[in-house]
Amino acid sequence: MHTEWHITIEQFKAQNEQIAQQQKELAVKKFELLSALSTRKDTTEELQFFKKEVEHFANLDIDDKQVLKQVLQRLINKIEVYEEGKVKIHHNLSPSLSS
């Protein structure tokens, strides 16, 4: 059995507007996701750079406590410790400062 299906111009316009709105929403969501991925990538790269620099400083043979203190002060801007045990280290390094 074959049935023809007809829609009115108003139904077509309504569906077309709905599809256009969905496309706009998806484009915004795509932009948000790409932005989040970019931010995460930047954060991951900074963390890897920071770990590399910490390892470099850890391997230095510094017997003078004053020199070690100065090195750490240049490396770390601030350390935050939260009640649940989370530690957040604000460092003074970025990949653009690498030597």
Domain boundaries, the chain: 9-97
Whether residue 90 contacts residue 77, with contact meaning beta carbons closer than 8 Å, is answered with yes
Residue 99 has pLDDT above 60, yes or no: no
User: Residue 97: is its pLDDT beyond 50?
Assistant: no
Q: Global pTM?
A: 0.42
| Interval 27-55: pLDDT, tens | 999 999 888 888 777 777 777 887 887 77
Residue 87's DSSP bridge partners are: 81
Angle at which helices 9-58 and 65-75 cross, to 10° = 170
Per-residue model confidence as pLDDT tens digits over 42-95? 777 777 887 887 777 777 767 777 777 777 787 788 889 998 888 888 877 655
